[in-house]
Chain A
Amino acid sequence: MNQRMSYFILACMSLGLAFLYIPILSMIVFSFNASKLVTVWDSAHSPTLKWYFSLLNNEEILDAAWISAKVAVINASGAVILGTLAGFGLARFHQFRGRFTLNAMTTAPLVMPEVITGLSLLLLFVAMEQLIGWPAGRGITTMTIGHMTFSMAYVTVIVNSRMATFDTALEEAAMDLGARPVKVFFVITLPIIFPAILSGWLLAFTLSWDDLVISSFTSGPGTSTLPMVVFSKVRLGVSPEINVLATLTITVVTAAIIGVNWFVARANKLDAAA
């Protein structure tokens, strides 16, 4: 690159990163602001932790967070199983009937506007209830099914791309030594793609934890998730407690991402050494 071009790239990079991080930093800073006006800094009483305590005593938010956590954990575990199977199948078997359809069905949820997915799932649940009596009403089960349907697509992509860099000779060697296919999968394949599965689980958890639209369509009375409660609060204006919630979320996510990155980097290094 010549000098002028690299200055241009550097300028864009700084601008882009500032654009991405100023909103996040402003939420963190103002979560310590004493003023109820949120964005007007009250220098006499700040920084303070009072909104942190008020968030931890907010029953509505805590209840919603508990529901979100339950849905997110079940969703992530289910999505990892479905997504790993789909990603494994797409990467390994190049010729099977329905491969094209499976491929299309796993990429479509990635780009499908959420309002369409949400509406269609709700109408399905209503039709199923009329037809076979299940699911009776809507709640955690229907929300989890909805979340699994779109988050398994992300897991599929992650597992599929990990499979692409996989040395199949390892599996062949194990088979030559007499291991059965199921044993090969659990002893050889699974440990090697484990970093991908772990990232897939965390991504599926996050997608579910953050989802507003599909949850709103598929939830029932009394099962409001955290984003649904946040959305109804935010529509009424800014609130200091939401800044606290955002700060806590960002802290946990940053720690998790750095942890997983370290873990994956180590696994890759072990791979390279082996």
Chain B
Amino acid sequence: MALPFVWLLLFFVVPFIIVLKISFSDIDLAIPPYKPLLEWAAKHTLTIKLNFDNYAFLFTDSLYLHAFVNSVKVAFISTVFCLALGYPMAYGIARARANVRNVLLLLVILPFWTSLLLRVYAWIGLMKANGVINNVLLSLGLIHEPLTMLYTPFAMYVGIVYSYLPFLILPLYSNLEKMDWQLLEAAQDLGCRPWQAFYKITLPLSRNGILAGSMLVFIPATGEFVIPALLGGPNALMIGRVLWDEFFANRAWPVASAVAILMLILLVPFMMWYQSVQARESAGAR
């Protein structure tokens, strides 16, 4: 068991310590483009230069704050939409007959196995000015000039909900699958209306599934890069994209590291929440 442990320690935990370190160092016009944190000063004493400039910079330029707030907003709204569409789907799959259920599950899993990049690319073809949606609507006479959809916030939401929907459905399904449906019959025998029974029994019992699925959407969507880069247009400020540009376009490694650290501070509580939900869920299963 030591091998995976050591591997993750070396390639998953140690890197974050280095990111933390570099977020405190100066930008340098060298390769690699940052200055060392520890330096031997002239009197042969080791000095540590902690530099908060990168963080100060992030807080003074409103672009970064705006990107953070916008990412959380986009991720949250996308999660709500995923839930609104995904919950009925997961519920339907869980209550379907066994052979229908397997086919439906396969249909939900299949897109998840196909390249995200290619599936996001498909939306460019659907949503651009002379794309499929506009051409269909124009030929039906429903609109008279093409709608602007691509490179708008709308396109970005569609892309995120589309890409992350299976991540929400699958944990929710495996939670609902374990449900004792006789509880609903009992509630109805006692005079509960179907919607009331759903609200009072199904919804509370599927709480862990809802939380796990939502977290699997919300956390990665906050740091999403590909979807805003391809569908969101130049003004789609998402923090994952800011980090990417700081790193690749500006070669500002320390600033990119500071962005990563702030993202982690924001997301780690949600990750811990996810983990405790998962632990409760698997404890309940046994």
Does A2 touch B at the CB level, under 8 Å?
Answer: yes
4 smallest beta-carbon distances between A and B, as pairs: A113-B223, A120-B15, A23-B122, A12-B88
Does A73 touch B at the CB level, under 8 Å?
Answer: no
The answer on a CB contact under 8 Å between B108 and A20 is yes
Contact mask for chain A residues 62-94; partner B; CB cutoff 8 A; 1 contact, 0 none = 000000000000000000011101101100010
Distance of A47 Cα from B45 Cα, bound (Å):
75
Choose, from B46-54, B60-68, B252-260, the stretch at the interface: B252-260
The answer on a CB contact under 8 Å between A261 and B106 is yes
The answer on a CB contact under 8 Å between A253 and B114 is yes
**Hey, which bits of chain A sit against chain B, CB under 8 A?**
1-2, 4-5, 8-10, 12-13, 15-17, 19-24, 26-27, 30, 37-40, 81-83, 85-86, 88-89, 93, 96, 98, 101-117, 119-121, 123-124, 126-127, 130, 145-146, 148-149, 152, 156, 164, 203, 206, 209-210, 212-213, 216-217, 227, 230-231, 234-235, 237-238, 242-243, 245-246, 249-250, 253-254, 256-258, 261
The answer on a CB contact under 8 Å between A23 and B85 is no
The answer on a CB contact under 8 Å between B91 and A212 is no
User: DSSP class of A's interface residues: helix, strand, loop or mixed?
Assistant: helix
The answer on a CB contact under 8 Å between B165 and A249 is no
The answer on a CB contact under 8 Å between A22 and B263 is no
Contact mask for chain B residues 219-244; partner A; CB cutoff 8 A; 1 contact, 0 none = 11011111001100000000010011
Distance of A244 Cα from B279 Cα, bound (Å):
43
Q: Which residues of A contact B5 (CB under 8 A)?
A: 86, 98, 101-102, 105
Q: What are 24 A-B residue pairs whose CB atoms fall within 8 Å in the complex?
A: A4-B194, A12-B89, A13-B104, A16-B165, A24-B122, A26-B132, A38-B125, A89-B1, A105-B8, A107-B278, A116-B223, A116-B260, A119-B256, A119-B260, A120-B260, A121-B11, A121-B15, A130-B32, A156-B4, A203-B113, A230-B117, A230-B121, A257-B106, A261-B102
The answer on a CB contact under 8 Å between B194 and A257 is no
Does B126 touch A at the CB level, under 8 Å?
Answer: yes
**Which residue of chain A is the closest to B267 with respect to CB atoms?**
A113
Closest CB in chain B relative to A89 CB, distance in Å: 4
Q: Which residues of B contact A4 (CB under 8 A)?
A: 194
The answer on a CB contact under 8 Å between A2 and B117 is no
